[in-house]
A and B are shown apart, each in its own frame.
Chain A
Amino acid sequence: MNLNIAILIILIMAALWTTMTRSLLRSAIGLAAMSLVLSIIMFRLNSNLAAVFELSVCAGLIPVLFVSTISLTHPLTKQEVMQHMKDRIRRFWYLPFIIVAVGIALSLVTVKLSIKLPPHEIEKNVRTLLWNERPLYLAGQIIVLLIGAFSVVILFKESGKDER
């Protein structure tokens, strides 16, 4: 239990670093670190397959997407960086204090959760559940993937037309 709390604290610190760091590149790396910590939590909570997905897609693919986007956009000039830094410090320095205050306040509150849990049933395999019982989940994923592919094609086709 204490180890879980320590991992969750690391997760919050990674999220704070992602939000507050000045460089967007470091933010993308912070996001990958967040996904890594989250996948460790998933492994500890017996969700191995979801953890592997989280590790490969969220800690691998999505930061690469962000890094390539950052590299495609123009960096700021030194003057703009200095101006933005002052502005950012003014806007973001509240956040750690808010998080610490909320954490302390919520940990002092003793909540009696009256959750009605569903009746116990024999644990199924994820693969069996996805393929045999919930095939619509897979169909939905395929449809979403196709929509995403077509959207990206249309987006870059339009921008190509504009350049001409």
Chain B
Amino acid sequence: MNVEALQIFWPFLLFVIMLFIIGIYCISITFNLIRALLGVEILIKAVTLLIIIAGFVSGRTALAQAVVISLIVIEAVAITVAVGIVIGIHSHNNSLDTRKIVDTDK
């Protein structure tokens, strides 16, 4: 067991918690769709950092890297699709404000 690696886990975890708070605050407070996506990105970055530090502490950086690479691919695809949906919403409503979204099917 790498004791020195375990000692740095708590400071990193502290910053991961702070990143989580920033991401959740951004998503819950904003009315702009693009800014909400930026909040999701911040949350994903917090998760990435947590996986990397967990891999470093447990001494399995290869496995952590494999998971992070998969996460990055999924993140890129999810953001691409979300951005397409945002452009679609903007073309229907002419606004990115969540309060002005109108259900056109009704």
Chain A interface residues toward B at CB < 8 A: 1, 4-5, 8, 11-12, 15-16, 18-19, 24, 27-28, 31, 34-35, 38, 41-42, 45-47, 49-50, 53-54, 57-58, 61-62, 65-66, 69-70, 72-74, 91-92, 95, 98-99, 102-103, 106-107, 111, 113, 115, 117-118, 120-121, 123-126, 129-130, 134, 137, 140-141, 144-145, 147-148, 151-152, 155-156, 158-159, 162
CA A137 – CA B70 in complex, angstroms? Answer: 7
Q: Which residues of B contact A58 (CB under 8 A)?
A: 45, 72, 75-76
Which one of A103, A115, A123, A152 contacts B62 once the chains associate, using CB atoms below 8 Å?
A123
Q: What 14 additional pairs, Cβ within 8 angstroms, besides A54-B72, A126-B62, A159-B88? A: A5-B11, A11-B15, A11-B19, A15-B42, A18-B38, A24-B32, A27-B38, A38-B45, A62-B75, A120-B59, A145-B73, A148-B77, A151-B81, A155-B87
Q: Is A148 within 8 A of B80, CB to CB?
A: yes
Which one of A24, A61, A72, A118 contacts B58 once the chains associate, using CB atoms below 8 Å?
A118
Chain B interface residues toward A at CB < 8 A: 1-2, 6, 8-12, 14-15, 17-19, 21-23, 25-26, 29-30, 32, 34-35, 37-39, 41-42, 45, 48-49, 52-53, 55-70, 72-81, 83-88, 90-91, 94, 96
Query: When A and B form their complex, what is the total count of cross-chain residue pairs whose Cβ atoms lie within 8 Å?
Result: 204
Looking at chain B's contact residues, the main secondary structure is helix
Q: Is B64 within 8 A of A50, CB to CB?
A: yes
CB distance from B44 to the nearest CB of A (A): 9
Q: Which residues of A contact B6 (CB under 8 A)?
A: 113, 115, 117
Pick 23 A–B contacts, CB within 8 A, sort by A.
A5-B11, A15-B45, A19-B25, A19-B42, A35-B45, A47-B61, A47-B68, A50-B65, A54-B48, A61-B76, A65-B80, A66-B38, A72-B87, A74-B94, A99-B21, A113-B10, A123-B60, A123-B61, A124-B63, A129-B63, A145-B73, A152-B80, A156-B84
By Cβ-Cβ distance, the 9 closest A-B pairs, closest first, are: A148-B77, A50-B68, A155-B84, A50-B65, A8-B15, A45-B56, A19-B26, A141-B73, A151-B81
CB distance from B76 to the nearest CB of A (A): 5
Look across to chain B and name the residue whose beta carbon is closest to the beta carbon of A130: B66
Looking at chain A's contact residues, the main secondary structure is helix
CA A66 – CA B25 in complex, angstroms? Answer: 20
CA A28 – CA B30 in complex, angstroms? Answer: 15
